[in-house]
Amino acid sequence: MQQPLIGVTACRWEHNGQYFHVAGDKYLRAVVFGASALPVIVPAFGDLIAPESWFARLDGLLFTGSPSNVNPDLYGHTLHMLNTHSDTARDATTLPLLRAAIEAGVPLLAICRGFQELNVALGGTLHQAVHTAGPWADHREDPNADLAEQYGPAHIIHTEPGGVLEELGLPPKFEVNSLHTQGVETLAPGLRVEARAPDGLIEAVSVESARAFAVGVQFHPEWQVQHNPHYLTLFRAFSKACIARATQRARGEV
């Protein structure tokens, strides 16, 4: 079996006048322990590296969460007063990379910010502050709680019948964590709703036309993935698709 190589998207942070490309440890570990794969960080270089340049070497892409948010200019909104963190270098990298990966049939799993990037990349819009946008619950974590509580079960999600999550054997409802301020406002064309929170907010999507695994989730299945069977199911399905691509690459078929 060919061990897959999975690209993990990075944020660009500035410190003392220098830039650093940063990917969270929990995402990298989830690639190793949840997907049984090798992680490699994809820097937020914008158009310095063409998205297609990665595909000869990568077997999958993990689009990570982040403290930053997608620039609302990219989906036709003005900046909300609570949207205080941006990363334009990441936006310039991940949105084209998502579109190119779908077109090329590269497996992808998009988490939190990555989930929001997927929606924006395909033409959707976001609520910048879900808890101020009408009927929605407050999906943010308690900033004063420890990590175990922040990433602990927060609410159930209801999976949609006939979708990818059901096909993976995930139950009609299960508990997830919740650590997000933003959420889907208008669903992008070509995305299928896979799960919703009790308040109706979209919590998971799939790409209808995708030739490989292409799923986005608003929650954080990377957190202690080995100890949560539902989170592990997602990563194993992603891994299976990445292994298939790795095998094809080894044979020169892609």
Q: Tell me, yes or no, if 158 is annotated catalytic.
A: no
Q: What type of residue sits at position 120?
A: V
Q: How many CB atoms lie within 10 A of CB 156?
A: 16
| pLDDT of res. 134 | 83
Centre a 10 Å sphere on the Cβ of residue 209 and count the other Cβ atoms it contains: 10
Specify the pLDDT at position 194: 98
∠ CA 226-119-213, rounded to 5°: 45
Collapsed DSSP state (helix, strand, coil) of residue 42: strand
Q: What pLDDT score was predicted for residue 243?
A: 97
Q: Report percent pLDDT > 90 for the chain.
A: 94
Burial string for 19-48 (b: 16+ CB within 10 Å, else e) reads eebebbebbbbbbeebbbbebeebbbeeee
Q: Which helix (H) or strand (E) holds 238?
A: helix 229-250
Polymer length in residues for the chain: 254
Place of tokens 């969460």: 65
Burial group, residue 144, by CB count within 10 angstroms (0-12, 13-18, 19+): exposed
* Candidate list 160, 194, 203, 222, residue with the active-site label: 222
pLDDT of residue 245: 97
- Displacement of CA 146 from its chain's centroid (Å): 23
N- to C-terminal Cα distance for the chain?
A: 17
Output the pLDDT for position 185: 98
Catalytic position from the list 112, 117, 141, 203? 112
Catalytic site residue from 127, 180, 220, 230? 220
What is the predicted pLDDT for the residue at 84?
Answer: 73
Instruction: Return averaged pLDDT per consecutive 10 residues of the chain, 254 residues in all.
Output: 92 96 98 98 97 96 97 94 86 98 98 98 97 92 96 97 98 98 97 98 97 98 98 98 95 90
- CA dihedral in degrees (202, 146, 85, 19; nearest 10)? -120
pTM: 0.97
The reported pLDDT for the residue numbered 80 is 84
Distance from C-alpha of 78 to C-alpha of 160, rounded to nearest angstrom? 32
Q: Are 118 and 128 in contact (CB under 8 A)?
A: no
222 has catalytic annotation: yes
242 in active site: no
- Kind and range of the H or E run holding 7: strand 5-9
